[in-house]
């Protein structure tokens, strides 16, 4: 059974709060229609998959995915990933607001993630100016 402190430590070391933001100034053809996609994930080597399954059970949301890695000296991994905005809003964000991350860099990423998430909720990403602002904020994430 996972504790809150264990989860905070795990996410400090192996987790990520990120947001895919489409760069509207990019000249390359963008195949994804999504303008802004917030995501929380934890990635571990294949033999530690059980921890990710316990994490999914603890939060009651998200999925565990296999991630093949063909790079030399790298192992295949699994990712516990939450992309549902509803789950991020009602489960993941409140957890990390209550249980602060210990690494200053990870806490900063979480705060930026939360700031961007609130702007997405206000549909700022649907306007060019708002999307540019989100993209600029994203550049400050680790």
pLDDT digits (tens, 9 = 90+) for 60-104: 999 999 987 776 777 889 999 999 999 999 999 999 999 999 999
CATH class of 4-138: alpha beta
Query: How many angstroms from the chain centroid is the CA of residue 87?
Result: 12
The whole model's pTM is what? 0.88
Helix (H) or strand (E) holding 50: helix 49-59
**CA–CA gap between residue 97 and residue 81 (Å, rounded):** 18
Range with the lowest mean pLDDT among 39-53, 103-117, 127-141?
Answer: 127-141
Range with the lowest mean pLDDT among 16-25, 52-61, 113-122?
Answer: 16-25
At residue 134, does pLDDT exceed 80? yes
- Residue 58 token pair: 């603890």
Model pLDDT, residue 1:
78
- Residue 38 token pair: 């917030």
């Amino acid at each position: 059974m996972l504790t809150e402190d264990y989860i905070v430590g795990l996410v400090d070391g192996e987790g990520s709060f990120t947001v895919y933001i489409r760069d509207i100034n990019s000249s390359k053809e963008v195949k994804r229609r999504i303008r802004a996609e917030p995501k929380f994930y934890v990635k571990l080597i294949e033999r530690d998959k059980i921890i990710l399954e316990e994490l999914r059970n603890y939060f009651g949301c998200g999925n565990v995915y296999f991630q093949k890695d063909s790079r030399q000296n790298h192992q295949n991994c699994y990712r516990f990933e939450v992309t549902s905005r509803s789950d991020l809003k009602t489960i993941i964000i409140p957890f990390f607001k209550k249980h602060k991350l210990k690494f200053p860099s990870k806490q900063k990423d979480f705060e930026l993630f939360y700031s961007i998430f609130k702007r997405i909720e206000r549909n700022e990403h649907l306007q060019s100016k708002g999307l540019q602002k989100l993209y600029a904020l994203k550049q400050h994430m680790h």
